[in-house]
Amino acid sequence: MKTIVASLLVAIATTAFGAELSQKITTPSGIIVHLPSQWQEIPTQVITAQFEEVAKQNPNLPKQKYECGLQAQSQQWFSYPYVLVQIHRTGRIPEIALKKMPNLGEMLDEKMQETADASSSVADVAMGKTVYDPDGRILWTSTRVQYVGIGSVKMLAGIHLTADGFVQVFAYAREADFPRYETMFHRIISRVEFPVSMRYVPRAIDKIPLVHAVDWSKAFSKGIAGAVVGGIAALIFGLTRRKKKDSQPEDSPDSE
């Protein structure tokens, strides 16, 4: 009996926290995101409308556009946990620049604080350690944000180098729930696949440490703002009380 109970608990954990990333979602730009089977894609029109409302209520924040949004199954869009993908075509960033930039973490933290100060929806923000993974070519960072009307939310972000800039993948969960989702978030972000045209390919010139040739403020300021703004979406949706069924076409299974 104990063995059966233990097996059941493992099965429940697998289902709840997405140990199996058996679903593949392809974004409009051809990016492939691997997700748990029960996760769903947030409709484009919902994302567009949501962040237009965010921009209206937070005019001091830079406007944000996201490639796609994905979340665990829920009766309401932007329910935690959810993931946002954002593309930045800033121009190619040499990998060596990330490796050699001594105060990259401090710069990102400064930009995060500036974004938080510009938002009336953010009460407090604390940024975690920034680490570059040379094997996956991913810059990892995390943030805890105290949103007015929501509470404490943690975000894990992976910044992927691409042929013409970078792609950020933001994963959000309430702070109390974050430890249960953290491993899954790491796997989702790590397994993102890019079309050939977007893949980062090393070049001989990359060995030249042209760190100061990269305008880091321009390259990452809007991207860091995207992390904070992405968490505000849940607040805006809660205030407007817009339900998932409102955006479903009449012939969809959810509308029956």
The verdict on residue 6 lying in a domain is no
Which secondary-structure segment (H or E) carries 5?
Answer: helix 2-17
Question: Is 50 exceeded by the pLDDT of residue 17?
Answer: no
Q: Is residue 217 part of a domain?
A: yes
Are 220 and 106 in contact by the 8 Å Cβ rule? The answer is no
The CB density around residue 252, as the number of other CB atoms within 10 Å, is 10
pLDDT at 30: 97
- Mean of the pLDDT values across residues 119-129? 79
Q: 37 in a domain, yes or no?
A: yes
Q: According to the model, what pLDDT value does residue 13 have?
A: 39
pLDDT value, residue 158: 95
| 233-249 mean pLDDT | 56
User: Which range marks the domain in which residue 185 is found?
Assistant: 20-249
SS3 34: strand
52 against 84, higher pLDDT: 84
Percentage, residues of the chain above pLDDT 70: 75
Q: What pLDDT sits at residue 23?
A: 96
Q: Would you say residue 127 lies in a domain?
A: yes
Query: Which of 45-54, 174-183, 240-249: highest mean pLDDT?
Result: 174-183
- Check residue 214 and give its pLDDT: 59
For residue 46, the domain's CATH number is 3.40.1000.10
Residue 2 placed within a domain: no
Whether 13 is in a domain gets the answer: no
Q: Is residue 254 part of a domain?
A: no
pLDDT tens digits, one per residue of 32-70: 999 999 999 999 999 999 898 888 888 888 888 999 999
pTM of the model: 0.80
Write down the residue that tokens 């730009």 correspond to: 29
Residue 256 lies inside a defined structural domain of this protein: no
Between vectors from CA 126 to CA 234 and to CA 80, what angle results, nearest 5°? Answer: 25
* Structural domain count, the chain: 1
pLDDT of 138 > 90? The answer is yes
